[in-house]
Chains A and B, each alone.
Chain A
Amino acid sequence: MSKLLIKNGRYINPITNTDDILDVLIENDRIADVSKEINLSNGVKVINAKNCWVTPGLIDIHCHLRDPGYPEKETIETGTRAASAGGFTSICPMANTNPVIDAGALVEYVNKTNQKYGFVNIFQIAAVTKGLNGTELTSQDELKNAGAIAFSDDGKPIENLKLYRHALEYAKMLDMTIISHAEDTHLKSDGVIHEGELSLKLGIPGIPSSSEEAAMAREIALIRQTKGKLHFAHVTTKEGVELLRLAKEEGLNITGEVAPHNLILIDEDLEDFNPNKKMNPPLRSRLDREALVKAVLGGIIEVLATDHAPHTREEKSVSIMEAPFGIIGFETALPLYLEVFYHSKKMKPLDFIKLITSNPARILNIPRGSISKGDVADITIINPEYEWTYDVTASYSKSKNSPFDQRKLKGKAMTTIVGGKIIFEALLDA
């Protein structure tokens, strides 16, 4: 029996509302004990977690691993490695691979490949429509049986509302959630950055906020009708936040997430035309960013998600129109979240940790997000005060498309434990 003892850490477990200095004993893949002062001798590996938080393994419910289909951007191996370095023990990749994850065999491909090459747990999200074509529904039953955790056509909004309605009805039958990329494609048109003062100033086609708001409004109408479960991926606008607030107040089964870049950067940061600040939905205005931060503090947005989206340097070294949307985010997400919510003194650690552990687990029914006795030993040990500079060339991701290169960060996952095994340990300057 392999044992691992984590000593002297600040144990934070949102499910039990615990935030205390407690030791954690792991036996094999499970948590065997959580107590004050566990003392074991010989043969036990001990991690001294002094000044660190010991939290449930972080969960990212929105990322892109590009596998199968785009090994030049990322693979399951490199993507899960980068995730582990960022403190994530479970990640939910989207279905927009090539081929699209729209059949049971493809979910199995992902899970088998991950068993062989992966570093963290994958909970695959499968497509709502075949090939993300927006016209033909996938077999949700088949996909769920194969291991899919949720459904989404992320990257491509579903325009046909009748089809969308039926997808929600099937998902409801199976007690599954649909994750929405809320966007009106006509309003977006050829837009590449937020439609606002900057797009006007630089003559760059804009994506109006109404593109998100209008799509969210019509999808909320479908939930009101079907009573299904909907999760809004990457909410970016203050109008979207308000719709989410109203929908939750009404008691609809609707949740939302926000990506780290939308909490940190704004459209004005794009004055340098850097394609590594181009993503969809885009960096919005200062007021939108404020609204997003407030929405998280007020419980309207309950999840932080990376939207890790790798693209090669070649793809991004072109004009702002030609460059693909998206940036990588696994390794910078945690310190950026900490910057916005913890170091700013806006949130207590327990409330903060919820956003990246128990909340995403609850929303997508992921059997993780807690570190009580008997739970699977997925643990992240975080030093919230550790100061470091992000060097994108040292990233474990195959792609380097980050706007945060050379940014000074505070907070880091020091040790990432998946199923009782140490998967990642930060090598600090010795």
Chain B
Amino acid sequence: MEKEKDSYINQGTKNIAKPEELNFEELKNNNFKWTRKTLLSTKDLHIDEVEAIFHTAESLSEILTRKVKKVPALRGKVVINLFYEESTRTRSSFELAGKYLSSDVTNFSISTSSVKKGETLQDTAQTLIQMGADAVVIRHNVSGVPFQLAEYLPRNISIINAGDGSNEHPTQALLDLFTIRKHVPSLKNKKVVIVGDILHSRVARSNIWLLQKFGTDIHLCGPPPLLPESFKNYGVKVHWKLDDAIKDADVIMTLRLQRERQTTGLIPQLDEYHRLYCLSHERLKLAKKNVKVLHPGPINRGVEITSELADDTNYSLIADQVSNGVSIRMALLYLLIFASVDS
């Protein structure tokens, strides 16, 4: 084991220390030690851990600019992408993150129909163990499955929640915050507005729980069926009118609208949604002058955001979100896989 760790250091891994040697000096808390093995939620993330993830992501992001985009940090480690739900972006982002760090990444796609035929989560967990997984990246269309699966996996296998139902998408929230912070260094009392189908959004939830840790003034906006007033109980402000919401905003995150919401009566007509909630240059005038706009993708151009605004890099950070996503996921795979189980 010791030899193995030495070898990746020696093979020219510039800027990458062993996890226990990671230089967290720049962080406020010098005593901080990385011990986390799984990332299921942003709720239980400590600020120190967030800083450590960002710090690591920052140093690893350099790999993306290299000619040869590969370092041997996770050589010999097995990362399994366990995707119960179609997702090209998130899966590819994790796949590349793993591959840039030289781990063996395999995609394990389970269609929900075969689940109906009887594979239990216990059986799936057993399969993952037998395959020798070091990390499992899991996406499921139902809230809670990564938490349930974690119950069946030993502690030495890292689990990363890549989105479960409408519950959480912690890596998305981390990459969003990582992206925002490059432009808004401190989020304390800054106004961040999340617009769209909040009820069904795991991105919104993970962002809310994460941003709250930084003292951010969080505002939500969407039509009443997609944004129940009782979200207020979670310490955020609820708006049904976009203009009220984005007034003096520092950051606006807009969410993808699933078109099937119309068939179930949650939104009456798509063009009404566009009229009431589509983010445009015109509407942005109400926000702060240097406001930044994010979107987790894929974008419905002309539904939740105008095409012009999505492409206007004076405001839009959408392109940065994609590359930062890979860096954040590299950092997480690296930190989680190498965290010691006994600590």
Contacts and interface: CB of A to CB of B under 8 A. Distances in A.
A273 interface: yes
Interface stretch (A43-51, A55-63, A298-306, A314-322): A314-322
Interface in B142-173: 142-145, 147-148, 165-168
A319 B140 CA distance: 9
A273 B40 CA distance: 13
B270 interface: no
Given A197-B230, A197-B233, A203-B200, A314 B118 contact: yes
Contacts, number: 61
Interface string A125-136: 000000000000
Interface residues of B, number: 28
Contacts of A317: 120-122
Given A314-B118, A319-B140, A204 B167 contact: yes
A312 B230 CA distance: 36
Interface string B197-235: 001111001000000000000000000000010110110
A72 to B, nearest CB: 12
A320 B120 CA distance: 12
Contacts of B143: 202-204, 273, 320-321
B231 A200 contact: yes
Interface residues of A, number: 18
A322 B142 contact: yes
Given A273-B148, A320-B144, A203 B166 contact: yes
Nearest to B125: A317
Given A200-B231, A204-B165, A314-B120, A319 B205 contact: no
B120 A273 contact: no
Given A202-B167, A314-B120, A317-B121, A273 B231 contact: no
A201 B234 contact: yes
B147 A321 contact: no
Given A200-B228, A201-B234, A203-B205, A273 B116 contact: no
Contacts of B276: none
13 contacts: A200-B230, A202-B144, A202-B166, A203-B167, A203-B168, A203-B199, A204-B143, A204-B144, A273-B147, A317-B121, A318-B120, A318-B121, A320-B142
Interface of B: 115-116, 118, 120-122, 140, 142-145, 147-148, 165-168, 199-202, 205, 228, 230-231, 233-234, 264
Closest 8 CB pairs of A and B: A203-B166, A273-B144, A319-B142, A317-B120, A203-B167, A321-B142, A204-B143, A319-B145
Given A203-B143, A204-B165, A321-B142, 13 more contacts: A196-B230, A202-B143, A203-B199, A203-B202, A203-B205, A273-B144, A313-B120, A317-B120, A317-B121, A318-B115, A319-B145, A320-B143, A322-B116
